[in-house]
Amino acid sequence: MSQIDNAAVSAHLSHVRIVMVNTTLPANIGSALRAMKTMGLVKLVLVAPKTYPHPDIDALAAGATDLIEQIEIVDTLEEAIKDCHIVFGTSARSRTIPWPLLDARPAAELSLKAVATQQQEVAVIFGREDRGLTNEELAMANYHVTIPVNTDYGVLNVAQAIQVICYEMRMAAMEFTAKIADPEAKMHVTDDVDMQWDEPLVTHEQMEQFYPHIEKMLADIEFMDPKNPRLLPLRLRRLFGRIQLDRMEYHLLRGIFSRVQALNNGTWKKSKNDEDQH
């Protein structure tokens, strides 16, 4: 692995961003930057940080000042991930609703494969120091990612978790860079995700128009009570979040939702020569 082209690895890793939500301790932001820089990641997005800027960030990020200049600050998680194709939420194992869950290593392999073969944008979201991500935030992710730890002891802090994730991202980037340089080289990576795709895949932002549409349609036909939707919206996100729709599929499904709505409110009628089809 030592002969890998560092610039090519960095180019791949530039498509992987770290997102930190409501971070309280500046030291954790500094440590994150240092962890990112050592592994070759460059893009940190802070969602409504509690303390920013702060001298501790600069102190701990010694040597990574170029990354400080590139930090993006946004108000909402939504903004942080809107142009991303694959979004990971970091999470402990117990959650309200099960979600596609990957260990750090296969998550990194999946990410870098998507970057290397389809120039996708990847985000990994880290939550608050004390209570992580909310269920609502976790539901914005396509996958949840976890780092296997000693179950008798518990959890990594956010800086340690970012360290391990960035390390795995780099390892995966090196594998894919080596594979591109030498297509005959064998890799440990599964080829399941090796799909050739004709249509561009939709972004997170487009999916944020998709979910309200399907929910409105289901409310219209009274399949879902908008005042008490229970787990339905979450289940829909989990389901469609793990497909990664392409653009044509996206428009196909939205077309179906619109047709059902039109049928429901009477703006669309069945054709006159319709026989009973049932």
Q: Which stretch binds a copy of itself (CB under 8 A): 14-22, 71-79, 119-127, 145-153?
A: 145-153
For a copy of itself, which residue of 69, 182, 198, 275 counts as binding (CB under 8 A)? 198
For the CB of residue 6, give the shortest distance to a copy of itself in the complex, in Å.
Answer: 5
Q: Does 243 bind a copy of itself (CB under 8 A)?
A: yes
Q: Which stretch binds a copy of itself (CB under 8 A): 21-29, 50-58, 155-163, 204-212?
A: 155-163
Question: What is the three-class DSSP state of 117?
Answer: helix
Distances (CA, A) of 134 to 21, 88, 139, 163, 270: 10, 14, 9, 22, 44
Tokens 């509690």: give the residue: 50
State the Cα–Cα distance between residues 193 and 242, nearest whole angstrom: 12
Using CB under 8 A as the criterion, what x/- string covers residues 105-134 for binding a copy of itself?
xx--xx------------------------
For the CB of residue 49, give the shortest distance to a copy of itself in the complex, in Å.
Answer: 22
For a copy of itself, which residue of 197, 205, 208, 212 counts as binding (CB under 8 A)? 197
Nearest to 81 by CA among 123, 115, 48, 43: 123
Interface with a copy of itself in residues 165-194 (CB under 8 A) = 167, 170-171, 174, 188-194
For the CB of residue 22, give the shortest distance to a copy of itself in the complex, in Å.
Answer: 22
Q: Does 195 bind a copy of itself (CB under 8 A)?
A: yes
State the Cα–Cα distance between residues 16 and 83, nearest whole angstrom: 12
Residue 24 CA neighbour count, 13 Å, CB half? 8
Q: Which stretch binds a copy of itself (CB under 8 A): 45-53, 80-88, 121-129, 263-271?
A: 263-271
For the CB of residue 208, give the shortest distance to a copy of itself in the complex, in Å.
Answer: 19
Order of strands, edge to edge, in the sheet holding 143-146?
Answer: 72-74, 43-47, 16-21, 122-126, 86-90, 143-146, 101-103
State the Cα–Cα distance between residues 133 and 139, nearest whole angstrom: 10
Which neighbouring-strand residues pair with 124? 18, 88
For the CB of residue 247, give the shortest distance to a copy of itself in the complex, in Å.
Answer: 12
Using CB under 8 A as the criterion, what x/- string covers residues 207-226 for binding a copy of itself?
-----------xxxxxx---
State the Cα–Cα distance between residues 99 and 107, nearest whole angstrom: 14
For the CB of residue 69, give the shortest distance to a copy of itself in the complex, in Å.
Answer: 15
State the Cα–Cα distance between residues 207 and 200, nearest whole angstrom: 13
For the CB of residue 75, give the shortest distance to a copy of itself in the complex, in Å.
Answer: 31
- Judged on CB neighbours under 10 Å (0-12, 13-18, 19+), 9 is buried
Using CB under 8 A as the criterion, what x/- string covers residues 13-42 for binding a copy of itself?
---------------------xx-xxxx--
Which neighbouring-strand residues pair with 43? 17
For the CB of residue 232, give the shortest distance to a copy of itself in the complex, in Å.
Answer: 8
Interface with a copy of itself in residues 49-108 (CB under 8 A) = 63-64, 93, 98, 100-103, 105-106
